Amino acid sequence: MGEVRLTKQDHIGIITLDYPPVNALDSPAYFRLYEAMHDLAIDEDVRVVILTGAGERAFVAGADVKEFVKFNSRTGKVFTEKNAGVREYIRRFPKPVICAINGLAYGGGCALALVCDIRIASENAKVNLSEINMGIVGAIPYASAVAFNGTVRKMVYSGESLTARQAMAVGLVDEVVPQEELMDRCIALAEKIASKAPLAVLKAKEVLVKASESLLPDTVAAEGAAVAELWGTEDKTEAVKAFLEKRPPVFQGR
């Protein structure tokens, strides 16, 4: 079991995802995250949000893969749509959201980071789009929206990871700091944003969301349709089984 912790510091709301050992999130965790974000959305005293993970090992190391075993095209589609809904809620959140990437940001964790406004990573952080390793796809629209290049394509196809500085070089991360300075840096930036005219910051976020949406809704829908189909494949079942059994998968293209 884990928890989504919500704390406040002046005009800053801080959400900490605490799901040991690597903050892998299951469906209930996503719902708790949504509830915490909603609480901050309606809190007029909160002007900026920081989203991070507990500990120094991982921000969010993806989804809880054990949950994937039971998914087929129908149930997987429901799971995908619900999680995508939470990510879209964060992307369209009315206040600026800073992601403090305190370690691994894999798969769904990378997607969560990418829907935040600003991503600041610790030097030990790594990011990847690892869904391909589970026989599915994910986070492609958000990654391509901020850094549509060959490196991102390589991540999508191969599931390979980038270090924090490699991710910053291609635009997936905005800033890299030492682990021990991560939260201090995020709080300092949040305080600076919170010191600005509140209505101007809210309107700036509104305009920035609109500016980013020329193609994003279509690509999110396209990925949703693709992954719904992939949930029902034999290769997805084999990939998940191999991961849980700690062996190489044997794919059949079915």
Residue pair 25/19 in contact (Cβ under 8 Å)? The answer is yes
Highest mean pLDDT pick, 23-37, 62-76, 218-232: 23-37
Q: Residue 219 pLDDT > 90, yes or no?
A: no
Higher-scoring residue by pLDDT: 189, 66: 189
In CATH terms, the fold of domain 3-194 is 2-enoyl-CoA Hydratase; Chain A, domain 1 (3.90.226)
| Domain locations along the chain | 3-194
Least trusted range by pLDDT, from 19-23, 54-58, 245-249: 245-249
Amino acid at 147: A
Instruction: Determine what percent of the chain is predicted with pLDDT higher than 70.
Output: 99
Q: Residues near 56 by Cβ (< 8 Å), separated by ≥ 6? A: 102, 103, 122, 124, 179
Residue pair 56/122 in contact (Cβ under 8 Å)? The answer is yes
Per-residue pLDDT, 149:
81
Per-residue pLDDT, 206:
92
pLDDT digits (tens, 9 = 90+) for 162-207: 999 999 999 999 999 999 999 999 999 999 999 999 999 999 999 9
**49 in helix, strand or coil?**
strand
Mean pLDDT to the nearest integer, 73-91:
89
Per-residue pLDDT, 147:
81
Instruction: Determine what percent of the chain is predicted with pLDDT higher than 90.
Output: 66
pLDDT digits (tens, 9 = 90+) for 87-145: 999 999 999 999 999 999 999 999 999 999 999 999 999 999 989 988 998 888 888 88
Calculate Rg over the CA atoms of the chain.
18
**135 in helix, strand or coil?**
coil
pTM of full prediction above 0.85:
yes
Which run of H or of E encompasses 161? strand 161-163
